Amino acid sequence: MAGQFEPAPGGGAAVALDEVEVSILRSLAVQLLELIGPGDEPAADDDLFASIFSDGPTEPPTDPALARLFPNAYGDDDSDDKLRAYSSEFRRFTENDLRSRKREDGIAVVRTLDSLSAPGAGGAVLTLTADDCRHWLGALNDLRLTIGTRLEVSDEDESGELYRLPDSDPRKPMVMAYLWLGALQESLVETLLP
């Protein structure tokens, strides 16, 4: 089971993680939450209906990683005023909900990792419910998108240059995290397939 998710009773999944892996996953999830930012939760006396339809941002984020997590709905062609207006309007009504969902995914990862009894040298087995799996898939995807953006990974990156970095390259730890998260995500997806 080490390093790969396997089916768990009730439609969930389980993976053996050592202390270092738990620490890395938790740190990355916390960093993702910091990147996404705090939630704009409505006050207890606020009208729930009004808060559901509150306006969100209309401009795309300037941080490339956030722009990857919250892309324009109608492409990135800034020369087309009509498409830019459509993207702005779409963002205004959807980005707050998308941020909230991404935040919930990251928080679920932190909470499930925190629920593990202190992993010793042998590690611990993390068992996820079916609902936890959904949150983990979302968070793993967001983490990979964020790290991939920071590394400037693109679909055209067929040479695999990043995968052959020397150990002295400062990007090497991020590349290793990117690859590891991809393997975790792939094994979780395969575990959940019928």
Range of the structural domain that residue 134 is part of: 6-42+97-192
In a domain, 188, yes or no: yes
- What percent of the chain shows pLDDT beyond 90? 57
In a domain, 147, yes or no: yes
In a domain, 80, yes or no: no
In a domain, 27, yes or no: yes
Domain tally, the chain: 1
Three-state helix/strand/coil letters over the chain: CECCCEEECCCEEEEEECHHHHHHHHHHHHHHHHHHCCCCCCCCCCCHHHHHCCCCCCCCCCCHHHHHHCCCCCCCCCCCHHHHHHHHHHHHHHHHHHHHHHHHHHHHHHHHHHCCCCCECCEEEEEECHHHHHHHHHHHHHHHHHHHHHHCCCCCCCCCHHHHCCCCCCCHHHHHHHHHHHHHHHHHHHHHCC
Query: What confidence tens digit (pLDDT) does each residue in 133-155 have?
Result: 999 999 999 999 999 999 988 77
pTM comes to: 0.86
